[in-house]
Amino acid sequence: MSQQVNQETSAAGGVNRRSVLAGLAGGVASAGLLAPSAAAGTTGAETAGRPERDQRVEALLGRMTLAEKIGQLQLVGDETTARAALAGGRLGGVFSVVGAAKLNALQRIAVERTRLKIPLVFGLDVIHGYTTNFPIPLAQGASFDPAVAGTDAAVSAKEARSSGIHWTYAPMMDVTHEPRWGRIAEGYGEDPYLATRFAVAKVRGYQGNDYSAPDRVAACAKHFVAYGGAEGGRDYNTVDVSLHRLHNLYLPPFKASVEAGVATVMASFTTISGVPAHGNGYVLHDVLKGAYGFRGFVVSDYTGIEELILHGLAGDGADAAAAALPAGVDMEMVSTNYARFAERLLAERRITRDQLDDAVRRILLVKVRLGLFERPYVDEATEVKAPSPAALAASRQAAARCMVLLKNDGPVLPLAKGIGSVAVVGPLGIATYDLNGTWAGLGTGAGTTPPVTVVDGIRAAAPGAAVTYTPGCTVEGTDTTGFAAAQQAARAADVTVVVVGETAAMSGEAAARSTIDLPGVQQQLVAAVAQTGKPFVVVLVNGRPLTISSVHEHAPAILEAWAPGVQGGHAIADVLFGAVNPGGKLPVSFPRAVGQIPIYYNHENTGRPADPANKYTSKYLDLASGPLYEFGHGLSYTTFRVDGLRLSSTRLPARGGRIDVTATVTNTGARAGDEVVQLYLRDPVASIVQPVRRLRGFQRVTLAAGASTTVSFTLTPDDVGFYDNAARFRVEPGKIEVYVGTSSAATLSASFTVG
């Protein structure tokens, strides 16, 4: 597809991509890639999409003093600082303070003792549960069922709002090709389409149709943008990205979330091609607030504005504030540069009154939409302090739905419910809070109910079996003296379940790993159990893809359970014993070795693609090409066939066209099960080299043994188009290849022509 047809469509809020992005790209060429908006000829709120006008907000703005306006831009993270700021009427919100009584007490000061009685907004990292922990987001992505994320968000919102929390710093929608990065656990993997579907589902789950409702909270799309591209997988590190990759890979989930009505956005800690996100007017002002028409407010990440000094963009706090506010950061978390310097910066004309008013207006509008002026307090008698039976059941169902059967030779699984004896081996066999994973809400606090262990889950699933537990080793230790006892237990049992992986602290923020093997001597433990010759299955509990080539070699069966949440032990047992037939798929590639990283399915081709028969091609001398397990991989206890691929047309008009793609999926096995039918596209010839495949559709279906169904997908020009290096969206005429199957290695194919 070498000829060009520009597809200039109107962005949300009526801002045309050509006027904002194409024009900007010309300024960028001379000012430096992704230069701040000032360098590109734009100035703060004057040209950004403005929030809608609300009479109450406008009336408040007219009455507010300069100090009161600046105060609304401040967000603090503890009660003492909050009370001090409230004494002067200069505070917009509080985060990380929990408990209805504490939050009501702070709110009373704001509403009853300050001049304008503007309520505070209370935020918290409610990532995959508040009192009820669901599987981590990466696991949810493995379900290939956005309803899982929606359910998690709805349950979490209801629990959090009951305690006075109005605002969650989720969902994280950072696409990443870097499994060493600990925060891969918080997102949905390596694919922008998958991340988009899940991000939108979670935004809607948190906010519902009206986030003033007593069971909803305001969501926050984070981290804007390209945080997942941090070099070396080291948290907070540099990101150097082209415009086309920024818009094609990292931005799609954010754009879709804005269209879904997300209330707030959080800036990224990282630089983006030399300009830190907190001072990057291109991404925040021109793209987010301009092209996307975002009407909510942007919050800094923790001390992100202060960190502009260490980044080297600002010489001091005044410089940092002068960079961040015009760039588009409306509320400052923890650091106090706006509070200390905004008045001076106005006098010096380094920021404008319009920029300040725009930020305040955005914050007040979210507070209005939260219903805080009508209902500033929460009923302390109805605070949810423990998971309900319904929430626990939802978490258990979600966890089982997220698990991925990586291997099942024999087959070893499912285990017979009447089995006589089971040996559970491995340091995570009786783990509790490690099953919650990173960002566990209130799920690890004092007085909380610990997650169900794997041992207890197996005992409940097979009450007639003799179940033993032997740790064998610790997660990170080097002591192998427990191997002998583990082998003895395995020899004495009908089957062994080896539970290995990572602790909760080994993934998440500030949890980068230089290697992603099983920590400690767990890999050797698996090999020791294999030496017994008895049947066994490995259960992985982890927050990232691992390099498990040795485990793959030794273990007949491997179940990826991720960090499954508060009902993890029950959910794992549900899958092991066949009460649930696993249907999850990998949302991220599993590398063979850390030296392969980055490895991902949607890569661009080279002029010399890997060829094992030709040394002078793109590959390693000492490693097979491709991942150990590809994106979209996942097995079942039954088998499926996908065939009958049909296209409604062989031509897609570049403007307003559509093609319906259908295929038949059949359960060819002896038991009911789930399959995820996946649709990928390839544009073999384009003005910007395209990925070898791009996911553009998926459907998870449940079929009885022998049953068939037809799955259908609709393709439009948006599915075949892409952004170029001037940030213009292009739909080019030419051939498009379609692949349908059960992973990114799908072989069933057809093609159509655009134009």
- For residues 574, 580, 586, 587, the Cα torsion angle rounded to the nearest 10 degrees is -90
Asked if omega into 556 is within 30° of 0 (cis), the reply is: no
Please give the DSSP secondary-structure letter assigned to residue 674.
Answer: E
Cβ atoms 676, 695 nearer than 8 A: no
Residues written for the chain: 755
- The Cα 663–Cα 119 span in angstroms is 54
- The Cα 169–Cα 13 span in angstroms is 24
Residues 6+ apart with CB under 8 A from 481: none
Q: CA separation (Å) from 541 to 102, 156, 498, 559? A: 35, 22, 11, 9
Q: What is the separation, in whole angstroms, between the first and last Cα of the chain?
A: 10
- The Cα 622–Cα 447 span in angstroms is 51
- The Cα 209–Cα 152 span in angstroms is 16
Residue among 191, 235, 301, 719 flagged as catalytic: 301
Residues 6+ apart with CB under 8 A from 353: 346
Tell the residue number behind the tokens 């910007």, with chain if given.
688
Give the count of beta carbons closer than 10 Å to the beta carbon of residue 368: 18
In three-state secondary structure terms, 167 is strand
**Identity of the residue numbered 295:** R
Cβ atoms 476, 520 nearer than 8 A: yes
- The Cα 373–Cα 286 span in angstroms is 31
- Catalytic site residue 301? yes
Of residues 673, 676, 469, 458, the one with CA closest to residue 574:
458
- The Cα 150–Cα 202 span in angstroms is 5
- The Cα 567–Cα 704 span in angstroms is 27
- For residues 236, 240, 242, 248, the Cα torsion angle rounded to the nearest 10 degrees is -30
Cβ atoms 665, 704 nearer than 8 A: no
- The Cα 395–Cα 272 span in angstroms is 37
- For residues 360, 361, 363, 364, the Cα torsion angle rounded to the nearest 10 degrees is 110
- The Cα 92–Cα 264 span in angstroms is 14
Tell the residue number behind the tokens 């002078």, with chain if given.
616
Cβ atoms 367, 118 nearer than 8 A: yes
In three-state secondary structure terms, 405 is strand
Long-range Cβ contact pairs of 512-515 (< 8 A, separation 24 or more): 512/180, 512/181, 512/182, 512/232, 512/233, 512/234, 512/235, 513/180, 513/182, 513/233, 513/544, 514/180, 514/594, 515/547, 515/594
Please give the DSSP secondary-structure letter assigned to residue 473.
Answer: S
The catalytic residue positions are 301
